Copies of this chain bind each other. A is one copy, B any other.
Amino acid sequence: MKDIRKKLSELKELALKERLNIAEEIRQLESKLHGGNHNNNSAWSKVKLSRLIERPTTLDYINIIFDDFIELHGDRLFADDPAMVGGIGLLNGRPVTIIGQQRGRNLKENLKRNGGMALPEGYRKALRLVRQAEKFGRPVVSLVDTQGAYGGVEAEERGIAEAIARNLKEFFAVKVPIIVVIIGQGGSGGALGIGIGDTVFMLENSTYSVISPEGCASILLRDGSKAQFAASIMKPTARDLYFFKVIDEIIEEPAGGAHTNPEVAAANIKNAIWRELVRLMPLPKEQLLKERFEKFRKMGVFFEKQDAKKGILRRLFGRKNNR
């Protein structure tokens, strides 16, 4: 099994070098490799793994991956949200802006950090730092780890919807590469609010979904006890999302999960980020933005009777080239 993975990884590098378009075939292979049994237990076990309190957090990874990290605070508008962290670090000596949700690593810290559920000011801080990165040509690494945006009255009062919407739009216009890594829970709009990027990675045992399995069970299946079943329906695992082409690549964790050896998990993330940044940094900004948009533009499954329409859509894409 390990050998196959190694071979596959070699194949991928080769394909990249030779500019062979075998991405689709590799995707199929990998999807099978990462375990084929789509049953309740596998999805649910990932959900549980992704939520482990022992699982490394954003700051844990930052401390291992980046040298000389300086945390920068505040949205310059209302507050500094401890559930969202950010700053500047060096990745192999090159400056990078990092943002990410931060859970607590114990009960007390979790209280202070709202369990990694950010308020509007958290999303606005992230946007401020991303714009700062853009201004000075630094790429952005975004680490996603949240069950969702904070759902309280203050969040509504201060415009959590506006804050997420603004980020979604602005992240698509940022003229430096953005690498997203879902390291734990990718919960709905709260995750997506810092989840737009040129390359979206998921750690092997992380999850990403529009609603929690519990939420899905109680709202759609009208039976709160069916969370395990809901998890299997929602298809929130890295494998599922890779198959759906919603994410670009899965980053392996050490056997047993990232918490068993954070150093190894961090090294894998570091390699993946570095590889992508080396690829993305030289790209013309127009191409970067165009490809970022087109990737997300394709997400969605629907049926369209009239094929003629493809003509105008292609023209619309054509316009994008001139961006």
Contacts and interface: CB of A to CB of B under 8 A. Distances in A.
Interface in A61-82: 76-78
Contacts of A77: 77-78, 124, 158-159, 162
A158 B76 CA distance: 9
Interface string A235-273: 000000000000000000000000000000000000000
Q: Is the interface of A mostly helix, strand, loop or mixed?
A: loop
**Number of copies of this chain in the oligomer?**
2
A29 to B, nearest CB: 47
Interface residues of A, number: 7
A162 B76 contact: yes
Q: By CB atoms of chain B within 10 A, which of A78, A124, A162 has the most?
A: A78
Contacts of A158: 77-78
A77 B76 CA distance: 11
A78 B121 CA distance: 10
A78 B159 CA distance: 7
Contacts of A78: 77-78, 158-159
Nearest to A163: B77
Contacts of A124: 77
11 contacts: A76-B159, A76-B162, A77-B77, A77-B78, A77-B124, A77-B158, A77-B159, A77-B162, A78-B78, A78-B158, A78-B159
Interface of A: 76-78, 124, 158-159, 162
Given A77-B77, A77-B158, A78-B159, 5 more contacts: A76-B162, A77-B124, A77-B159, A77-B162, A78-B78
